[in-house]
Amino acid sequence: MKNYVIRKSDDKKEIIYYNYDITGYNMKSKSCGNNQLKIDEIMIVKPSLVDKLITMKFKEKYKRLVMIVLSILHASDTSEGDCIIALDEIERLKEILLYKYHNKIKIEKETMFLEQLEGLERSLSEKLLQIRAFNNMFNFENEQEKSKGR
């Protein structure tokens, strides 16, 4: 994969291009109001900056996931489907962390993020078990009433 690094020379006031084979973290650039320079993708090479960017992305996704989980845990009309969707979202975030960002962040941060996700998963699993137990009890009572007859 060929990439380039752009550097501005102070004495000549021109942009110089260098071709390198670099590995790093690719990210899409956000469009600015200024349409003079259009950049599709940016590659971050510095490992500490990559670690910070991935941490920021993960924390943003984690906060969104925590809000969803808290709304599910505190709602009285939560269904099994809501819990299963949230559990799938947790699993998806775990897989992204393990397979996409595994080599790009520190091991300590990766284990910390996984522990946080497992905590959310445990609380949702408990809620799902409560919902299933309530549904089974409700279905059992309905079957009891139907079987009484005359």
Tell me what pLDDT residue 37 has: 66
DSSP label at 34? -
Q: Phi then psi for 30, rounded to 5 degrees? A: -85, 145
Q: How many other β-carbons are positioned within 10 Å of the β-carbon of residue 86? A: 22
Q: Which helix (H) or strand (E) holds 3?
A: strand 3-8
* Domain residue ranges in the chain: 1-45, 46-150
> Does 150 score more than 60 pLDDT?
no
Model confidence at 145, pLDDT cuts 50, 70, 90, reads: low
Predicted model pTM = 0.71
pLDDT tens digit string along 59-111?
Answer: 999 999 999 999 999 988 888 889 999 999 999 999 999 998 888 889 999 99
User: What average pLDDT does range 131-147 have in this prediction?
Assistant: 74
> Does 1 score more than 60 pLDDT?
no
